Amino acid sequence: MREAFFLALALATGGAGAGWAETAVSAIGDAERGADIWIFCSGCHQIGPDAEIGIGPPLTGIFGRRAASVDGFPYSRSMTRAGRDGLTWTLETLDAYIENPRVLVSGTRMSFDGLEDAGERADLLAFLRVYSDKPSNIPEAAPTARADVPTLPPETLAIVGDRAYGEYLSSECTTCHQRDGSDKGIPSIVLWPEENFVLAMHAYRQKLRPHPVMQMMAGRLTDEEIAALAAYFGSLTP
Amino acid sequence: MTLNRRSFLGASLAAGAALSAPRAIGQARPRVVIVGGGAGGATAARYIAKDSQGAIDVTLIEPTRTYYTCFFSNLYLGGFRDFASIGHSYGALASGYGINVLHDWVIGVDRDARTVTTAAGHTLPYDRLIVSPGIDFVEGSVPGWDISAQNRMPHSWKAGSQTQLLKAQIEAMPEGGVFAMVAPPDPFRCPPGPYERVSMVAHVLKATNPTAKILILDPKASFSKQALFEEGWQRHYAGMVDRIGPDFGGANVSVNPEAMEVDIDGTVEKVDVCNVIPAQKAGRIAEIAGLTDDSGFCPIVPATMQSRMDETVFVLGDATIAGDMPKSGFSANSHAKVAAMQVRAALTGSTAFPAKYSNTCWSLIDTDDGVKVGASYAPTDEKIAKVDGFVSQTGEDAALRKATYEESVGWYAGITADMFG
């Protein structure tokens, strides 16, 4: 599936052909510029052969690794859940996580607001990739060439949700999620900032987030319906 | 909607005659009567009361004061839940939502007069009736068994004392004894339920009576989540579970409750526990009300959950012919939300949004080994049709199975809060 996706991508961008594999690797980004960005990460994360657990988990070999899989690191409940659900760090998922960590993993403890600039993310990913021991597992494509996940045109984010419609639609959510925001085995979805809610639901709809129930539920919601749910759940009083 | 004179009078009279809620003549609100307080009825009552904010008078009629959920009753059999944890009262629906909760049996429905009558002698008028009676058993479907044999050979397919009885019988089995299950033909409540039950019984026996055997007598060629259950039985309970399908006589079974024997296509076996789950039909009141067809279940309008027989009546849950949706508590809860919205729209003019339905069924195979199957549905003219779905895969890792089980525990908390407030 992923191979097919990247092949289609390569064809679409005209990058396919002899020598594509060699050139595409460097097209991820500039590892040297990435090292400058890494400074912001290194307060918490270590990388390299001797990296250990710090405030954050070591990032050596991060590509291809299951989320929340470093033994001994006290991951957040959300990250642990994402790992159990099958989240694996790839070029795509890392890029989305770095762009806005809470879109991919709602309750992550990583206190980093995200890196908006796609070029900077590409450079940082190129830097991280140097320290991954299985570069052959890395999809050979520029992260900036894939659709940014979740790809939301400004007009989608600008949709003003119909709260009343959201209230009706919410009844489908509250079969599992508690309306009072408590978490008894299924995460809270109330009082999220609307934009985060919208981005998270689109991440499920685009199957970037791994959970099959949520992929199915989000898969049949329209942009307007997602906005309506975000408006409703964002407005509940605790 | 405007009330016609007949229903207006009915509402006023009933308020004085039958129910304690005091109400002055002239303030009559449209009345909804809901028959059955399970996943369909309780959810519908709560949503109509909550969303109409007092504009609709809601009466919920349910015989039992404490409702034991069928879902998770297998986990009680397996020792994963205590009995009290699957019991729920109607206190919050009455006190927190202003619902008239009547613990009574509905014994008649007059659809021309728009009234229901109860065993205690009440006659309640309605503007809209919601019928969510669950299932009843088809008489004679397992030769030798009828409801009078339910203490010897429990069905335990309606949760409560039957579930406790079956658990006691399992615990009292002699060493190396035989637990037999007569599985039902399609369609029936909770398609993975019999096989989750077998898993839970095996879990108990493995710990307390490891030489005991489980025999499933099954009229169906295949069943829900079959690959997942068979993989799990092989992994956790190798050699304990034996299933006899229709190829080997599983569809030609009779029982003798007195002798504790089962006859499988002419071969008589002595058994120690026999869980007979008969063929099923809509709860009897649906039939009495004339809402069923030849199948024994109730045809509904897919977009609204209205009865095909009467547009002022809605039918929910296991009693319905719900197209591609399975008979489950999750499905009934999903039906209820669509019906609640339609009822409010009809009686108060609120907006009726397009129907969406969904279902997920979790099953537990052994400790921390949970699986699930689910789908989303949308109405067509003919039926409620499947849109998309998923099912757990064989060979999943232990962490994912544990997460699936933990998710089911969260779902139980979620749906019971959604039903009972």
> Measured between alpha carbons, how far is A172 from A168 in angstroms, rounded to an integer?
8
pLDDT of A136 higher than 90: no
**Mean residue pLDDT across chain A:** 80
Q: What pLDDT score does A1 carry?
A: 38
| DSSP assignment of B85-129 | GGEEESHHHHHHH--EEE---EEEEETTTTEEEETTS-EEE-SEE
Strand partners, B32: B58, B128
A154-235 falls under which CATH superfamily? Answer: Cytochrome c-like domain (1.10.760.10)
Looking at the fold, whether B257 and B315 belong to one and the same domain comes out as no
In chain A, domain spans: 2-137, 154-235
Interchain proximity A164–B351, CB inside 8 Å: yes
Partner residue facing B333 (CB), from A175, A212, A220: A175
Name the percent of chain B lying above pLDDT 70.
Answer: 94
Note the helical H segments in B148-283. Answer: 161-171, 193-208, 226-236
Looking at the fold, whether B128 and B51 belong to one and the same domain comes out as yes
Give the count of Cβ contacts less than 8 A between chain A and B. 90
Looking at the fold, whether B256 and B223 belong to one and the same domain comes out as yes
Range with the lowest mean pLDDT among A26-35, A212-221, A228-237, B408-417? A26-35
The residue among B323, B355, B387 that closes a domain is B355
At A236, the pLDDT band (50, 70, 90 cuts) reads: confident
The residue among B244, B261, B278 that closes a domain is B278
pLDDT in tens, B43-90: 999 999 999 999 999 999 999 999 999 999 999 999 999 999 999 999
Q: What pLDDT score does A14 carry?
A: 36
A43 against A59, higher pLDDT: A59
At A3, the pLDDT band (50, 70, 90 cuts) reads: very low
Q: What pLDDT score does A27 carry?
A: 64
> Measured between alpha carbons, how far is B265 from B185 in angstroms, rounded to an integer?
16
Interchain proximity A216–B374, CB inside 8 Å: yes
B390 CB within 8 Å of a chain A CB:
yes
The CA-atom distances, in angstroms, between B160 and each of B58, B88, B370 are 26, 11, 24
Q: For chain B, how many residues are written?
A: 421
A192 against B333, higher pLDDT: B333
Total domains, chain B? 2
Residues in chain B with CB shorter than 8 Å from the CB of A185 are: 406-411, 413
Interchain proximity B410–A84, CB inside 8 Å: no
pLDDT of B280 higher than 70: yes
B93 to chain A, closest Cα gap in Å: 16
Measure the CA angle with vertex B361, ends B356 and B362; round to 5°.
Answer: 140
Looking at the fold, whether B349 and B262 belong to one and the same domain comes out as no
Q: Could you tell me if A76 and A87 are in contact, meaning their C-beta atoms sit under 8 angstroms apart?
A: no
Looking at the fold, whether B129 and B33 belong to one and the same domain comes out as yes
Residue A142 contacts by C-beta under 8 Å, 6 or more apart in sequence? A24, A27, A28, A29, A122
Partner residue facing B376 (CB), from A84, A176, A220: A220
pLDDT of B5 higher than 50: no
pLDDT of A18 higher than 80: no
Looking at the fold, whether B211 and B98 belong to one and the same domain comes out as no
A186 to chain B, closest Cα gap in Å: 5
Residues in chain B with CB shorter than 8 Å from the CB of A176 are: 360, 407, 410-411, 414-415
Looking at the fold, whether B27 and B42 belong to one and the same domain comes out as yes
pLDDT of A110 higher than 80: yes
Q: What pLDDT score does A8 carry?
A: 36
pLDDT in tens, B304-349: 999 999 999 999 999 999 999 999 999 999 999 999 999 999 999 9
B82 to chain A, closest Cα gap in Å: 17
Q: What pLDDT score does A7 carry?
A: 35
Interface test with B, best of A75, A78, A79, A84 (most B CBs within 10 A): A84
The CA-atom distances, in angstroms, between B198 and each of B166, B331, B365, B374 are 12, 23, 9, 21
Residue B129 contacts by C-beta under 8 Å, 6 or more apart in sequence? B32, B33, B34, B35, B109, B111, B114, B116, B312, B313, B314
Residues in chain A with CB shorter than 8 Å from the CB of B337 are: 168, 171-172
Q: What is the mean pLDDT of residues B284-305?
A: 98
B47 to chain A, closest Cα gap in Å: 9
At B3, the pLDDT band (50, 70, 90 cuts) reads: very low
B307 to chain A, closest Cα gap in Å: 22
Looking at the fold, whether B274 and B300 belong to one and the same domain comes out as no
Interchain proximity A216–B351, CB inside 8 Å: no
The residue among B250, B278, B306 that closes a domain is B278
B96 CB within 8 Å of a chain A CB:
no
Interchain proximity A84–B334, CB inside 8 Å: no
Name the nearest CA neighbour of B379 among B302, B300, B299, B301.
B302
A176 against A27, higher pLDDT: A176
Residues in chain B with CB shorter than 8 Å from the CB of A168 are: 337, 341, 351, 353
Rounded to the nearest angstrom, the gap between the alpha carbon of residue B301 and the centroid of all alpha carbons in its chain is: 20
Q: What pLDDT score does A139 carry?
A: 46
> Measured between alpha carbons, how far is B314 from B298 in angstroms, rounded to an integer?
10
B226 to chain A, closest Cα gap in Å: 20
What is the CB neighbour count within 10 angstroms for residue B226?
Answer: 14
Looking at the fold, whether B154 and B253 belong to one and the same domain comes out as yes
Name the nearest CA neighbour of A130 among A38, A6, A10.
A38
pLDDT of B374 higher than 90: yes
Q: What pLDDT score does A88 carry?
A: 92
Q: What pLDDT score does B9 carry?
A: 36
Q: CATH no. for residue B57? A: 3.50.50.60
Looking at the fold, whether B259 and B157 belong to one and the same domain comes out as yes
Range of the domain at B269: 140-278
Residues in chain A with CB shorter than 8 Å from the CB of B353 are: 165, 168-169
Partner residue facing A217 (CB), from B358, B403, B406: B358
Residues in chain B with CB shorter than 8 Å from the CB of A165 are: 351, 353
Range with the lowest mean pLDDT among A17-31, A170-184, B152-166, B358-372? A17-31
Structural tokens at position B417: 């809060």
Looking at the fold, whether B186 and B105 belong to one and the same domain comes out as no
What is the CB neighbour count within 10 angstroms for residue B151?
Answer: 12
**Mean residue pLDDT across chain B:** 94
Residue B18 lies in a domain: yes
Residues in chain A with CB shorter than 8 Å from the CB of B408 are: 185
Residue B329 lies in a domain: yes
Residues in chain A with CB shorter than 8 Å from the CB of B400 are: 84-86
Residues in chain B with CB shorter than 8 Å from the CB of A177 are: 414
Phi, psi of B418 (to 5 degrees): -70, -30
Helix (H, G, I), strand (E, B) or coil at A112: coil
Residues in chain B with CB shorter than 8 Å from the CB of A172 are: 334, 337, 356, 358
Q: What pLDDT score does B140 carry?
A: 96
Q: Which amino acid is at B347?
A: L
At B27, the pLDDT band (50, 70, 90 cuts) reads: low
Name the nearest CA neighbour of A121 among A142, A100, A101, A95.
A95
Q: How far apart are the first and last CA of chain B?
A: 28
Tell the residue number behind the tokens 């009885």, with chain if given: B165
Q: What pLDDT score does A72 carry?
A: 86
| Burial of A26 per CB tally in 10 Å (0-12, 13-18, 19+) | exposed
Element (H, E) at B398: helix B398-420
Partner residue facing A171 (CB), from B47, B387, B407: B47
Q: What is the mean pLDDT of residues B90-116?
A: 97
Alpha-carbon radius of gyration of chain A: 19
At A149, the pLDDT band (50, 70, 90 cuts) reads: low
Q: What pLDDT score does B369 carry?
A: 98
At A183, the pLDDT band (50, 70, 90 cuts) reads: confident
The matching CATH number, chosen from 2.60.130.10, 1.10.3720.10, 3.40.605.10, 1.10.760.10, for A2-137 is 1.10.760.10
Residue B234 lies in a domain: yes
> Measured between alpha carbons, how far is A165 from B94 in angstroms, rounded to an integer?
27
pLDDT of A181 higher than 90: no
Crossing angle of helices B329-348 and B41-52, rounded to 10°? 40
> Measured between alpha carbons, how far is A173 from A181 in angstroms, rounded to an integer?
12
pLDDT in tens, B117-176: 999 999 999 999 999 999 999 999 999 999 999 999 999 999 999 999 999 999 999 999
> What residue of A is the nearest CA neighbor of B393?
A212
Interface test with A, best of B46, B75, B337 (most A CBs within 10 A): B337
pLDDT of B247 higher than 90: yes
A191 against B197, higher pLDDT: B197
B415 CB within 8 Å of a chain A CB:
yes
Residue B228 lies in a domain: yes
B344 CB within 8 Å of a chain A CB:
no
Interchain proximity A176–B376, CB inside 8 Å: no
Looking at the fold, whether B249 and B287 belong to one and the same domain comes out as no
Q: Which amino acid is at B411?
A: W
> Measured between alpha carbons, how far is B376 from B166 in angstroms, rounded to an integer?
34
